[in-house]
Amino acid sequence: MTAPVGEGRRTAVGIGQVAVTKDPSAVLVAYGLGSCVGVTMFDPAARVVGMVHVLLPHCEGKEAGPNEPGRYADSGLDALVARMSELGARKSRIIVKAAGGASVLGAANAEKFKIGARNAEAIKERLRHHSLRLAAEDLGGTRGRTMEVHCATGRTFVRTAASVPNEL
């Protein structure tokens, strides 16, 4: 399904960032996810939407830093869930979607660059920790993706370079 282009107030969620909003006009966008993974959360009752743009799988005790709370899959998802809850979302209602985790340097280098696959696995692992599951995913492959979530509806779209967006 094609996303309504230009609709809403688009906010870029950069690498390592976490964004949460109740503004129905907002559209949260993670541009060009390669090995990174974008995760969206939507509570249809509380009308809260959030997104995290994860760069690496595990924090392994390292601080993510105030400007990049979503840098790691584990601590980034913790931050997203906490901020969703602060705005009234309940875990039991949250719909989670994820995209990215690709091997954009080609199948020949997929074995070498495992970051994408490790990010995707770390996301799923941390979601299980929070008793959340993916309602939809577009993970892996060899193409970069741009992901966006529309706050009014929670509808999430993914597109690759020069392609039309598909609803996730």
Partner 1 sequence: MTEIGAKVTNILGAVARDGAVRAGRGLSGLVGQEISIHVPNVRMGTKGDACDAVGGEEAVVLGAYLGMSGDIEGHVMLLFPERRALECVDLMYGEPVGTTTEPDDLAMSAVAELGNIVGSAFVNALADHVRLILHPSPPTVVHDMAIALVETIYAEILSRGSEVVMIDTIFEDPNGKTAGLLIVAPDPLCIARIEELAA
Tokens read off for 79: 């931050």
Amino acid 147 reads: M
141 makes contact with partner 1 (CB under 8 A): no
From 8, 116, 154, 165, residue interacting with partner 1 (rule: CB under 8 A): 116
Of 20, 29, 36, 123, the catalytic one is 36
Amino acid 45 reads: A
Decide if 64 contacts 36 (C-beta within 8 A).
no
117 makes contact with partner 1 (CB under 8 A): no
59 makes contact with partner 1 (CB under 8 A): no
Q: Helix %, strand %, coil % for the chain, to 5?
A: 20, 35, 45
Catalytic residue check, 36: yes
Neighbouring CB atoms inside 10 A of 52's CB total 32
**Binding window for partner 1 (CB under 8 A); candidates: 18-26, 29-37, 83-91, 130-138:** 29-37
76 makes contact with partner 1 (CB under 8 A): no
In whole angstroms, how close is the CB of 18 to partner 1 at the nearest point?
17
The 3-state secondary structure of 129-159 reads: HCCCCEEEEEECCCCCEEEEEECCCCCEEEE
From 18, 36, 64, 79, residue interacting with partner 1 (rule: CB under 8 A): 36
Binding site for partner 1 (CB under 8 A): 15, 31-36, 55-56, 102-106, 108-109, 112-113, 115-116, 143-146, 160-162
Active site residue ranges: 36
